Amino acid sequence: MSSEEAKKRIQTLSAELRQHNYNYYVLAMPTITDFDFDKKLEELISLETQFPELIDPDSPTQNVGGFITKEFQTVKHKWPMLSLGNTYNEQELLDFDQRIRKAIGDNFEYVCELKFDGLSMSLTYENGKLERAVTRGDGVQGDEVTTNVKTIRSIPKNLKEGDYPDHFEIRGEVFMHLKAFERLNDERIENGEPPYANPRNFASGTIKLQDSAEVAKRPLDSFMYFLYTDKQLFKTHWESLQAVKSWGFPVNEHSKLCSDFSQVMQFIAYWENQRFNLSYDIDGIVIKVNNYSQQQELGFTAKSPRWAIAYKYKAERVETELLSVSYQVGRTGAVTPVANLKPILLAGTTVKRATLHNANEIVRLDLHEGDSVYVEKGGEIIPKIISVNLDKRKPDAKPILYRTTCPDCNTPLERKEGEAVFYCPNDEGCPTQIVGKMQHFTGRKVMDIDGLGDETIETLYQKGFIRHISDIYDLHNKADQLKTMERFGEKSITNMLDGIEKSKQMPFDRVLFGLGIRYVGATVAKKIAAHFKTIDNLMAASFEELTAVEEIGDRIARSLIEYFQDEKHRQEIEKLKERGLQFVAEENEVVLQSEKLSGKTFIISGVFEKYSRDELTSIIEQNGGKILSSISAKLSYLVAGDNMGPAKLEKANKLNIPIISDEELMGMIV
């Protein structure tokens, strides 16, 4: 293949893969199988390997992150990121328009833009290359999050040739599409993690993650809307928007140039209803004077520009009747209350249900049977009850009391101190939890067993074929019985059994994630597997040993200890071991660089500015040292960083174990 042919094919594959990523992550509507996607990605990787000069920094193969940020550096903004004055009523908009006219006359235009409900971001480019990304912060200074922002596919890392200046700053909004938010929040709930209230919070939390590889897994998007340069390049804001769009920046298509104020009001009225048809949240409209010279003449107040204002839509609120409260059981046993409502139209959709979050929310609202309630769907995806219309409460209405037993198995519910959620503890006998755990285990992101979808799991459970995860690996002994079941043909049974057998090769971290231990998601499972190496080491680990692992806090450690203390769980793990599943992490071959730490043992604890704990582990092992899992008299050194656990420090001092810094460790291998 010639270089020109390779270039065309790379461009085609890149465009296709970007679209498939968008379909999957944003729209939650994949149009291609995982296998076919992977094949296209493999072809692209192969071509880029053959023709490295054709690699685009924005290639789907490049936006994967992988850098750990210990703390975010504070950076002062060259141009302050001021907030906009805002209003919720038309009269104040008219007053704004009159102030403008009084100051600069009637000969001017407005630009109307959607006000995105996201995270403000400032990007600095040098010679067409993204050099720095900084959050708004307090407007004067913000956090540098460049590594994380580089994983956002819509933000160009290197601009193509163009007429842009050598140095400029462009500002915009980072956000998450609604479908992506729903999908990722569902995953958090499945993992026993608290869901985010709205996409903005999820986007903000994502940008501040320390591991950019994790940021890359969460599909963020962006729109840019304001350009800053040392020397003014354009006469109007509208011209600058068209220019930055031509440079390759994502600019929202719904902005409008308005010649008079009536057009502004029409734009606001149109989007008040149409906003619900967008794939992302907006909470208002931004109105800016178009001409830059006129902007300069109007100037600024201490907090905001006089030439711009934000009109914010009121969160739509409706009143309806509370019919009942029902309860949903998740695979981790979390019991969530849901309000069943008299159907009513809200934000363009018919609402029949609203989240009540937990028992505390029912108490806060003081809900009674048959209450007339106010429901909102503002920045929240799921409608929520805001308050009760007490004037309409019936005198004999009984208060809603949170149920005390599981709606599926009638087991008394439990709530741990400091937590808002009630749980059903009967994880081995509650049908919803049993089926949910098996569906989770066989899912694409866990053991990825072909032929064992959610409906099949449900059917096999109802027919008595499977009750525990380990039973899945005994289905090959029941092939003849399976053939008697409706819709279970010989080919589908063969595919399913092949998929089950193939899953035995899945690595330890996937199996650990599949067990469904509360708060142990995919990322946490990887960290644990890499640290403890085997399930036996993990089951024997103390609270202090668990919390010594990066990103493992008290809550996760307690959950792990409780899980492994249950004899039924330990028996299930033994069965899975017998059936050939992987409970030992694959050891990466260590290439020795020296023997300077030979015969010495180490434990690493705390947070370090220059290195991650994984990096320090590799350095020690590459120089002949050995990492221990617990402090004992056999330990040579404790490598201590910030926020090290006091119990570990106390034990080390008691045993007179030398405590060294990461710098002192480096000094030992020089």
Tell me how far CA of residue 569 lies from CA of 81, 191, 506, 536, in angstroms: 53, 18, 20, 13
> DSSP class of residue 52?
G
632 within 8 A of 545, measured Cβ to Cβ: no
Closest listed residue to residue 618, CA positions, set 661, 662, 652: 662
Give the active site residue among 115, 288, 527, 648: 115
Q: Phi and psi for 239 in degrees, rounded to 5?
A: -60, -40
User: Residue ranges of the alpha helices (H) in 175-329?
Assistant: 178-190, 199-207, 212-217, 237-247, 261-274, 292-298
> Is-catalytic flag, 115?
yes
Separation of alpha carbons 309 and 141, rounded Å: 22
3-class state of residue 481 by DSSP: helix
Q: Which two tokens stand for residue 193?
A: 């993690």
Q: What 3 state SS string does 230-245 have?
A: CCCCCCEHHHHHHHHH
Q: Which two tokens stand for residue 17?
A: 């893969």
Residue 484: how many other CB atoms lie within 10 Å: 8
Tell me the angle at which helices 662-669 and 613-622 cross, rounded to the nearest 10 degrees.
20
Residues 6+ apart with CB under 8 A from 27: 177, 179, 279
Residue 23: how many other CB atoms lie within 10 Å: 15
CA angle, residues 499, 502, 508, in degrees to nearest 5? 120
Q: Which two tokens stand for residue 476?
A: 């090959």
Residue with tokens 């591991």: 211
140 exposure class (CB count in 10 Å sphere: 0-12, 13-18, 19+): exposed
3-class state of residue 112 by DSSP: strand
Residue 263: how many other CB atoms lie within 10 Å: 15
Residue with tokens 């502004």: 264
- Catalytically active residues are 115
